[in-house]
Structure 1
């Protein structure tokens, strides 16, 4: 009797994957993050891959993101009792099926009155996160696992062939010689890659922006959100800004841009944002704290005095959202600024790309399409617009030229 090459496995949807192991931060610049197994020991193949990742110019934030995806992957392998270097395509398939059916612990909310996952906020029109792993999360996990095995295949430490199918049926998309003014050619999705929609920009309505600023309770928060809305900086970029990066006379700030290896770029900011910033720094000076040029701009309001973190800033925004009944996130302010720049007839699309620091102009051109609320408003106006009265019938007459051709001229 011929046996199957792969013994049958129970449904991955009901698989229990213990949350063993963890990701820790280190002081080693060559390996800023490490993945530990259930016994508290570093996973050597993961550490080697993350060190290679840092050597290729990736940031510590990217290293952290890859570490958490690999921790989830090794937890799954421990549950199915398959060594990492004996993985086949079947394990990758079951991993995707498990992610599609599993609950995402990051979606847990312990507060009362939290809206249902996937529901739409009536003020912003933006849906809340769904329960479970999003298609983008699954695709990112596949990309990380694919890079992990590609590295070990080339080094000769892992399987002979990567168990993860390629990203598309035509291989990886080559972008080195692509014209940025032309759209990318569409490719068929690779195996196990999830369908992702093309979401529209998450712009915040003006009424919600006004209520948000009204609900802010101090000059620090007003300065922060004014800077976010006028500079388009990301959260990590804004919180990493130092006193020396603020150039009020030039109307600009310098931020450490994403993916440029620590290089700082200039961002414009509005006069209103600099005014709030001056009030906030004046309050700091009255409290006896004058940050040096190399020190952060943003500090906590309560002692002990320490630099403001992303977790604390998000807590401030969550309280404001609860108060005004919205679900605005920090990155929505960046979307809002880009939409305002694109809608301004005095600015070109290239100007908006420069302010937003997009690598490709195709990213900026995504803001040119009409928004759903605008289309609905125009269609509603079309239905409610009074129709013009019908033109009265004036009868008909013969064309004199036709009569002359038939009967001749008089």
Structure 2
């Protein structure tokens, strides 16, 4: 059994958390994911909670995300030898302390020449991921564990009181979508909630975008990245698009929006993106593949033809990042489109909200915040701007500005 070699110092003892159990796909729409223990048996309390989660309209992706957070929590409880229904606030505190110092396997770097964790890329101005678990990940884990215990408290299967301290109504997630007409109210962070920085818009510089498209080696990738940049679709939405969702005559595509249970919404796409898509589909037809309206748009290029997956697409982008010296992710293209729409004087903020399919206008208004590089450029121009020469005075006379202060301007 593999173990995490990192330890949490608790007095004179150390904590070793065994990486036992895993999250598995079931193939069942009622419970798409579940957590199993080291022997392969399902963890029943987690399965009951995930069933409730799916019944409330959450997607399979949310079910998977919650399952991994609960797997981490149950591994920790096994290490401290506390049953899940006997956990108290002390265990939640130690769980947070462990997450702050333990090793995150997802941060392992396979290449020795990989940039240092937390360093900033010179081309994009975007920092690389730091070692360990991010504050937002810890806060999400706390929210998941809190929801898990709230469910079992209501059902009467767990403790009488949840061991996770309440976050309070005026937490960060409520502040993100508050009415801009109302003033912000001061609030305290919930216990064990980590401090999070307020991220600025992550628009990709134009020169990096040009290098990105110059590095694309086939019409499929040109069509795909043009669609990303002109539609603002998320990765899962774009890869789930079918031939019937493409409407070049209307200048739009249809994607299954996040959080709407498979409901498709229209997105605009540029004429250039449709031109590249036409060339790409023409190449598929020459290879003998003519997808039906219900079949995917994006297919692999090597080996047997099969639908393009997120892992394969990310590998394509990683190779391009290595070539151009950047650290882009697919979601950065969505941020770039939103920033361009907000900066365009011919489009309103509501127009940008509609294109990005933000549920609340306050999400879109976050792109009104000036970027750091823009502010630095403006301040540098202020320092280097030539100062006007002082107005010469001949003989004895009064300064016109002093007269205006005393008698007022004419």
TM-score normalised by L of structure 1:
0.92
Report SS of the residue matched to 1:260. Answer: coil
Contact 1:101 1:132 in 2 (8 A): yes
- 1:290-329 to 2 correspondence within 5 Å? 290-329=290-329
Cα displacement string for residues 95-114 of structure 1 (whole angstroms, at most 9, x for unaligned residues): 00000011111000112310
Alignment partner, residue 158 of structure 2: 158
**1:371 maps to 2:371:** yes
Secondary structure of 2:163's counterpart equals coil
TM-superposed deviation, 1:186: 4.5
User: Structure 1 residues 336 and 165, CA, compared in 2 at 3 Å: closer, same or farther?
Assistant: same
- State whether residues 180 and 361 of structure 1, in contact with CA within 8 Å, keep that contact through their aligned partners in structure 2: no
Given that residues 223 and 274 in structure 1 are in contact (C-alpha distance below 8 angstroms), is that contact kept between their aligned partners in structure 2?
A: yes
Matched residue SS, 2:79:
helix
Are 1:12 and 1:98, in contact at CA under 8 Å, matched by a contact in 2?
Answer: no
Distance verdict in 2 for CA 1:97–1:174, change over 3 Å = closer
8 Å Cα contact 2:178-2:362 kept in structure 1: no
Map of 1:167-206 to 2, 5 A cutoff? 167-168=167-168, 179=179, 182=182, 185-206=185-206
> Residues 171-193 of structure 1, C-alpha deviation per residue, up to 9 Å, x if partnerless?
89879x96476566453110000
Give the Cα–Cα distance (whole angstroms) in 1 for the partners of residues 288 and 329 of structure 2. 32
Could you tell which deviates more after superposition, 103-112 or 90-99? 103-112
Q: How does 1:192-231 map to 2 (within 5 A)?
A: 192-231=192-231
CA distance in 2, matches of 1:123, 1:397: 56
1:14 Cα shift? 4.2
**Paired residue secondary structure (2:35):** strand
Distance, in Å, in 1 between the alignment partners of 2:75 and 2:353 is: 41
Instruction: Judge conservation of contact 2:201–2:369 (CA < 8 Å) in 1.
Output: no
State the Cα deviation string for residues 193-233 of structure 1 (Å, max 9, x = none).
Answer: 00011010111000000000000110101111000000000
Q: How many Å apart are 1:386 and its aligned residue?
A: 1.5
CA–CA separation in structure 2 for the residues paired with 1:352 and 1:178:
19
Give 1:355 shift.
Answer: 0.3
Any idea what SS the aligned residue of 1:266 has? strand
In structure 2, do the counterparts of structure 1 residues 51 and 21 end up closer, same or farther at CA, with 3 Å as the change threshold? same
Distance (Å, rounded) in 1 between the aligned partners of 2:275 and 2:218: 13
Equivalent in the alignment of 1:44: 44
The alpha-carbon distance between structure 1 residues 173 and 257, as it changes in their structure 2 partners (threshold 3 A), is closer
Q: Which position in structure 2 is the counterpart of 1:244?
A: 244
Alignment of 1:6-405 (within 5 A): 10-11=10-11, 14-168=14-168, 179=179, 182=182, 185-397=185-397
Question: RMSD of aligned C-alpha atoms?
Answer: 2.0
Deviates more, 1:183-192 or 1:342-351: 183-192
- 1:262-300: CA deviation from partner (whole Å, max 9, x where unpaired): 101000000001011111101000000000000000000
> Per-residue deviation at 1:24?
0.5
User: Any idea what SS the aligned residue of 1:297 has?
Assistant: coil
Task: Measure the CA separation in 2 of the matches of 1:283 and 1:393.
Answer: 78
Q: Which residue of 1 aligns with 2:408?
A: none
So what's the TM-score if we normalise by structure 2?
0.92
Residues in 2 aligned to 1:172 and 1:320: alpha-carbon distance in whole angstroms? 36
Distance in 2, Cα, partners of 1:186 & 1:243: 50
Q: What is the alpha-carbon distance in structure 1 between the residues aligned to residue 398 and residue 15 of structure 2?
A: 85
**Structure 2 unaligned residues grouped into runs of 5+:** 1-8, 400-410
1:365 Cα deviation after fit? 0.4
C-alpha deviation, 1:387, in angstroms: 1.6
Distance 1:265 1:171, change over 3 A: closer
Q: Which runs of 5+ in 1 are unaligned?
A: 1-8, 400-410
